[in-house]
């Protein structure tokens, strides 16, 4: 029985340490997913947020290390101007019309300061929309996967 | 053509459903003819799905753009290799790859066991075919690969396809998905045997012995898949990292973790008759996590920088998983009596206990990764707010776990079964511990003060010494006894017990990989806007941007920077990072240039030309110490895995110390 007690104590110690590490890790890196409209309604300045939108064509502008651009939420027709101040290079997929995911904080002037940007084409292996007219299979009833 | 392909899939689905039902009813009602026909259907499915896959590949190779799949994933200018790889470049094709691999595995299982395991086999086939029914359903109805682009009533082709995503046009990426899938799909076989042994109340560990090779081979493929993914991320994505704790990456890691735990804990069952329930749970979880991983990458439930395919697949997968988990849990609970442990744990200082900690820690890591990956989904369900956690969370939990595992890698194999005295521990670990502290002291003296890095490299030294000692002791004994030279004695030693010494080699591979990962603590990076002709510095390197050239190929247009590399003034050669814009997708990609050396890599990325100043190029330079050792370690790991697969020269029969299990006794009595 003593063996099992000792064993149990060790297990509890290990799990406890890991749980503590996990909790602090979550606290340190948690990021809220928000839409542009949610950010406009309650701009929690200083909270770490991840916001997604389409890059408005022609708005990408570089000034030294900083990159300015505007993202757009189609459904509500809202825009958010973003300034990217991170040091990593912008991904290749980041360009006009791309879906961009900005990670950062709202500023008190209503702009968004991003420390990292991820950009994606709408589907993992497919070209971005607007590149080529979507060819929708006509012999199928399921929603097109290519749009 | 495409009609025959679609028809083949449909027929395979029917056959799979038949085989499942026939095997099951045949086994329950004891009808050998039904069982036999169920077995034969497995071969039929293999032939049908091979035909379907062949037709898809043929259409891709011949650029048959009447097919939606071909038009979306391929274009004429693409090299044939990538046209072939486009098979798994998209949702429909990769699901077809899944079911095709499953059909291959099923056929092999049925063939190799045609005269064995009469009782278990029908259930094995039933489990395999249940999964096949599911994937064939997806292929036939949810994500059919053979849709044609029809205009009006006629069938027309488009002039050229969209092309494969340029990020995937890289040799590692061409083989990464099949390797990973070979690992994913493969774990269904040990699971099927485990499940069948539960249903048929098999005494002993028949399922473990039968599937040991399977588990090892599939584990090898899984390791390969995960590593190829890392190699690809490092060389293609242009940010110099190999692991970002992205959901897709995590999806591939999760089953690997539980599989690793499984490979260790089966030894407890084979040698001591312990942890039987646990092994059932582990192999089932591994298989479920394989399905779950496919679900995660294929359904878009968690968003990711890799931008998952969005689709309605999620519900299908969830339903399938729920059924399987429920049935398996029920079966395990129902058979708890048959899974009683034969011995009890005797001491905290014992081999048994080191295995238990190994399992506990691996599972904790698995849980943490799963938790972190699913965090947005969980918080959305519980708090109504989507919250995500990033790399710091994963690193914070997994780095200490990794280090603890590294420690166990050294301790476990040297500690005695049952119980170990402090005295014997001192004797066994005197040298390794001494070397560990010497290493740490030496590194600290050289100015390395990163805590985790010190611990990690110290532990690497510790484990290395334990492994070398094991080989040395064994080989010396053989060399003395049979008068052969030491080198041959090492080979002889390994050959006598390939499983043990192959395992040590795998451990060595892991150690080397850890050393490589530790290098990340000392990475350097800089981004510079450089005028052509100018120089800049990173670490000890001076980089001279000589010129920028451009050109076109049918597949893409390129722009290349020529950079002269100097170290402390000494000319080392030229590097030429490149940017490409693929014509079909109009997608830009970076072709980084890497100077790979064992002590460090110099990594250059040509980000773009400056937008404010036309003759300035933006170059990112990185120095990654020790990163090559990750790949070296991987080769060692694969070699060790292969050694494990070689049959041992001496057949060891492990006499269990205390066989008190009821079923072992019954088996004894039956003889």
Residues B413 and B409: their CA atoms lie apart, in Å, by 7
pLDDT over 60 at B654, yes or no: no
Residues of chain A found within 8 Å of residue B163, distances taken between Cβ atoms = 127
Residues of chain B found within 8 Å of residue A100, distances taken between Cβ atoms = none
Counting residues of chain B whose pLDDT is more than 90, the rounded percentage is 39
Question: Given CB atoms, is B312 within the 8 Å cutoff of chain A?
Answer: yes
**Greater model confidence, A122 or A39:** A39
- Could A22 and B371 be called an inter-chain contact, meaning their C-beta atoms sit closer than 8 Å? yes
Model pLDDT for residues B482-529, shown as the tens digit of each residue: 888 888 888 888 888 888 899 999 999 999 999 999 988 888 888 888
Instruction: Give CA separation, A118 vs A67, B201, B389, B493, in Å.
Output: 14, 52, 15, 52
Give residue B156's pLDDT: 61
Give residue A147's pLDDT: 26
Model pLDDT for residues B298-319, shown as the tens digit of each residue: 766 665 544 444 567 778 888 9
B86 and B198 belong to one structural domain:
no
- Which chain A residue's Cα is nearest to B310? A123
B596 domain-assigned: yes
Question: Given CB atoms, is B620 within the 8 Å cutoff of chain A?
Answer: yes
Cα dihedral across residues B174, B180, B183, B185: positive or negative = negative
**Greater model confidence, B210 or B586:** B210
A6 domain-assigned: no
Model pLDDT for residues B74-101, shown as the tens digit of each residue: 888 888 888 898 898 888 888 999 999 9
Show which of residues 54-93 on chain A sit within 8 Å of chain B, judged by CB atoms: 62-63, 87-93
pLDDT over 80 at B668, yes or no: no
- Could A122 and B400 be called an inter-chain contact, meaning their C-beta atoms sit closer than 8 Å? no
* Mean of pLDDT over chain B: 86
Which residues make beta-bridge pairs with B582?
Answer: B556
Q: How confident is the model at residue B653 (pLDDT cuts 50, 70, 90)?
A: low
| The token pair that represents A26 in the structure block | 């979550």
Average pLDDT over residues B201-217: 83
B133 and B3 belong to one structural domain:
yes
How many residues are recorded in chain B?
671
pLDDT over 90 at B283, yes or no: yes
Average pLDDT over residues B652-657: 49
- Could A125 and B309 be called an inter-chain contact, meaning their C-beta atoms sit closer than 8 Å? yes
Model pLDDT for residues B289-303, shown as the tens digit of each residue: 999 988 887 766 665
Residue that terminates a domain, selected from B162, B192, B209: B162
HSE at residue B544, side-chain half, CA atoms within 13 A, is 13
pLDDT over 70 at B163, yes or no: yes
pLDDT over 50 at B123, yes or no: yes
Residues B409 and B405: their CA atoms lie apart, in Å, by 6
Show which of residues 3-22 on chain A sit within 8 Å of chain B, judged by CB atoms: 3-4, 6-7, 10-11, 14-15, 17-18, 21-22
Average pLDDT over residues B7-32: 93
A17 domain-assigned: no
End-to-end CA distance of chain A: 64
- Supply the range of the domain harboring residue A102: 30-120
Min distance A81 CA to chain B CA atoms (Å): 20
Per DSSP, the three-state class of B571 is strand
A133 domain-assigned: no
B215 and B121 belong to one structural domain:
no
B158 and B273 belong to one structural domain:
no
Residues B96 and B367: their CA atoms lie apart, in Å, by 30
Q: What is the DSSP letter of B346?
A: -
Residues B100 and B106: their CA atoms lie apart, in Å, by 10
Question: Given CB atoms, is B151 within the 8 Å cutoff of chain A?
Answer: yes
Indicate the residue of A21, A25, A120 with minimum beta-carbon distance to B389: A25
Which residues make beta-bridge pairs with B589?
Answer: B580
Residues B222 and B253: their CA atoms lie apart, in Å, by 9
Residue that terminates a domain, selected from B358, B373, B391: B391
Closest to B234 in 3D by CA, of B172, B191, B292: B172
pLDDT over 70 at B671, yes or no: no
| The token pair that represents B392 in the structure block | 């710091």
Model pLDDT for residues B25-53, shown as the tens digit of each residue: 999 998 889 999 999 999 999 999 999 99
B509 domain-assigned: no
Residues of chain B found within 8 Å of residue A137, distances taken between Cβ atoms = 68, 147-150
pLDDT over 70 at B154, yes or no: no
User: Which CATH number characterizes residue A71's domain?
Assistant: 2.40.50.140
- Which chain B residue's Cα is nearest to A6? B348
Pair type for strands B154-155 and B150-151: antiparallel
Average pLDDT over residues B449-468: 92
**Is B590 in contact with B620 (CB distance < 8 Å)?**
no
- Could A122 and B158 be called an inter-chain contact, meaning their C-beta atoms sit closer than 8 Å? no
pLDDT over 80 at B605, yes or no: yes
Average pLDDT over residues B400-404: 92
Residues B266 and B614: their CA atoms lie apart, in Å, by 63
Count how many domains chain A has. Answer: 1
Element (H, E) at B502: helix B498-518
A75 domain-assigned: yes
Show which of residues 457-516 on chain B sit within 8 Å of chain A, judged by CB atoms: none
User: Which CATH number characterizes residue B621's domain?
Assistant: 2.60.98
Least confident of A26-30, A123-127, B345-349: A123-127
| The token pair that represents B639 in the structure block | 């070699």
Q: Given the structure tokens 């070398």, which residue do they identify?
A: B468
Least confident of B123-127, B240-244, B546-550: B240-244
Closest to B109 in 3D by CA, of B52, B42, B45, B17: B42
- Supply the range of the domain harboring residue B206: 170-336+349-391
Count how many domains chain B has. Answer: 3
pLDDT over 80 at B9, yes or no: yes
Counting residues of chain B whose pLDDT is more than 70, the rounded percentage is 93
The number of C-beta contacts closer than 8 angstroms across A and B is: 165
Average pLDDT over residues B411-437: 82
| Strongest mean pLDDT among B127-131, B331-335, B425-429, B588-592 | B127-131
B417 domain-assigned: no
Element (H, E) at B617: strand B616-625
| The token pair that represents B439 in the structure block | 């290493």
Min distance B332 CA to chain A CA atoms (Å): 24
**Greater model confidence, B652 or B300:** B300
| The token pair that represents B452 in the structure block | 């985790």
- Which chain A residue's Cα is nearest to B65? A135
Examine the predicted complex and report whether its ipTM is higher than 0.95: no
Q: How confident is the model at residue A138 (pLDDT cuts 50, 70, 90)?
A: very low
Q: Is the pTM of this model over 0.90?
A: no
Instruction: Give CA separation, B595 vs A60, B481, B605, B617, B619, in Å.
Output: 33, 48, 12, 20, 15
**Greater model confidence, A140 or A86:** A86
Least confident of A41-50, A76-85, B405-414: A41-50
- Could A29 and B393 be called an inter-chain contact, meaning their C-beta atoms sit closer than 8 Å? yes
pLDDT over 70 at B261, yes or no: yes
Indicate the residue of A21, A31, A123 with minimum beta-carbon distance to B307: A123
B132 and B239 belong to one structural domain:
no
pLDDT over 90 at B586, yes or no: no
End-to-end CA distance of chain B: 58
Residues B173 and B170: their CA atoms lie apart, in Å, by 5
B116 and B183 belong to one structural domain:
no
Give residue B302's pLDDT: 65
Give residue B14's pLDDT: 94
Q: How confident is the model at residue B245 (pLDDT cuts 50, 70, 90)?
A: confident
Closest to B582 in 3D by CA, of B59, B67, B79: B79
Give residue B151's pLDDT: 53
Residue that terminates a domain, selected from B141, B162, B183: B162
């Amino acid at each position: 029985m003593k063996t099992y007690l000792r064993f149990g104590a060790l297990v509890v110690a290990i799990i406890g340490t890991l749980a503590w590490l996990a909790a602090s890790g979550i606290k340190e890196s948690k990021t809220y997913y928000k839409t542009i409209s949610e950010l406009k309604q309650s701009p929690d300045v200083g909270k770490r947020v991840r916001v997604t939108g389409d890059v408005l064509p022609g708005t990408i502008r570089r000034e030294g290390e900083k990159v300015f651009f505007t993202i757009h939420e189609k459904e509500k027709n809202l825009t958010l101007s973003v300034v990217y101040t991170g040091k990593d290079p912008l991904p290749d997929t980041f360009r006009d019309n791309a879906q961009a995911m900005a990670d950062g904080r709202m500023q008190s002037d209503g702009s968004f300061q991003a420390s990292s940007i991820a950009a994606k084409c709408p589907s993992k292996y497919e070209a971005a929309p607007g590149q080529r007219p979507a060819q929708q299979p006509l012999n199928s009833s399921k929603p097109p996967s290519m749009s | 053509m495409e009609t025959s392909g679609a028809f083949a899939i449909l027929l395979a689905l029917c056959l799979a459903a038949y085989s499942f039902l026939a095997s099951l009813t045949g086994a329950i009602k004891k009808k050998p003819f039904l069982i036999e026909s169920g077995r034969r259907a497995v071969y039929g499915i293999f032939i049908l799905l091979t035909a379907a896959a062949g037709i898809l590949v043929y259409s891709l190779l011949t650029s048959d753009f009447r097919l939606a799949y071909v038009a979306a994933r391929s274009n004429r200018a693409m090299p044939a290799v990538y046209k072939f790889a486009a098979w798994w470049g998209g949702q429909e094709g990769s699901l077809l790859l899944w079911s095709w691999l499953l059909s291959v595995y099923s056929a092999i299982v049925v063939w190799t066991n045609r005269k064995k395991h009469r009782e278990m086999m029908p259930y094995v086939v039933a489990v395999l075919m249940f999964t096949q029914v599911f994937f064939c359903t997806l292929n036939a109805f949810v994500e059919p690969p053979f849709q044609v682009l029809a205009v009006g009533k006629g069938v027309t082709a488009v002039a050229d396809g969209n092309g494969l995503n340029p990020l995937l046009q890289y040799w590692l990426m061409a083989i990464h998905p099949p390797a990973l899938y070979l690992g994913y799909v493969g774990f269904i076989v040990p699971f099927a045997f485990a499940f069948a042994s539960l249903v048929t109340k098999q005494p002993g560990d028949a399922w473990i012995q039968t599937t040991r090779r399977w588990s090892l081979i599939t584990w090898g493929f899984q390791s390969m898949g995960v590593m190829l993914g890392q190699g690809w991320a490092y060389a293609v994505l242009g940010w110099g990292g190999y692991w970002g704790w992205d959901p897709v990456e995590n999806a591939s890691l999760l089953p690997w973790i539980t599989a690793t735990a499984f490979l260790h804990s089966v030894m407890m069952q084979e040698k001591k008759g312990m942890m039987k329930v646990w092994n059932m749970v582990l192999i089932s979880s591994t298989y479920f996590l394989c399905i779950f991983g496919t679900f995660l990458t294929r359904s878009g439930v968690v968003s990711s920088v890799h931008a998952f395919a969005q689709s309605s697949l999620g519900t299908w997968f969830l339903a399938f998983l729920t059924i399987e988990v429920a049935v398996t849990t029920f079966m395990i609970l129902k058979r708890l009596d048959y899974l009683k442990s034969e011995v009890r744990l005797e001491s905290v200082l014992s081999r048994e206990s080191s295995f238990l900690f190994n399992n506990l820690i691996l599972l904790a890591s698995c849980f943490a990764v799963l938790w972190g990956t699913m965090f947005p989904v969980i918080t959305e369900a519980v708090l109504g707010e989507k919250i995500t956690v990033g790399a710091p969370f994963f690193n914070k939990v997994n780095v200490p776990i990794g280090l603890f595992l590294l420690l166990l890698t050294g301790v476990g194999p040297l500690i005695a079964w049952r119980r170990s005295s402090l005295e014997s521990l001192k004797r066994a670990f005197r040298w390794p511990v001494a070397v560990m502290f010497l290493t740490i002291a030496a590194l600290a003296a050289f100015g390395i003060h990163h805590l985790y890095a010190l611990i990690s490299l110290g532990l690497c030294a510790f484990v290395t010494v334990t492994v070398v000692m094991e080989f040395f002791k064994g080989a010396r004994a053989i060399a003395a006894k049979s008068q052969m030279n030491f080198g041959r004695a090492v080979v002889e030693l390994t050959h006598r017990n390939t499983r043990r010494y192959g395992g040590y080699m795998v451990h060595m591979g892991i150690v080397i990989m850890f050393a490589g990962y530790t290098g990340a603590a000392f990475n350097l990076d800089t981004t510079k806007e450089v005028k052509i002709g100018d120089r800049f510095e990173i670490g000890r390197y001076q980089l001279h941007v000589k010129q920028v050239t451009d050109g076109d190929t049918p597949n893409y247009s390129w722009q290349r920077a020529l950079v002269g590399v100097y170290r402390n003034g000494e000319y080392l050669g030229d590097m030429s990072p490149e940017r490409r814009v693929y014509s079909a997708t109009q997608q830009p990609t970076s072709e980084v240039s890497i100077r790979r050396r064992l002590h460090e890599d110099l990594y250059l990325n040509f980000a773009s030309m400056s937008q404010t100043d036309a003759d300035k190029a933006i170059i990112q330079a990185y120095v990654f110490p020790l990163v090559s050792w990750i790949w070296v370690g991987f080769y060692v790991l694969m070699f060790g895995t292969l050694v494990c697969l070689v049959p041992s020269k001496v057949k060891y029969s492990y006499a269990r110390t205390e066989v008190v299990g009821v079923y072992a006794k019954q088996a004894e009595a039956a003889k």
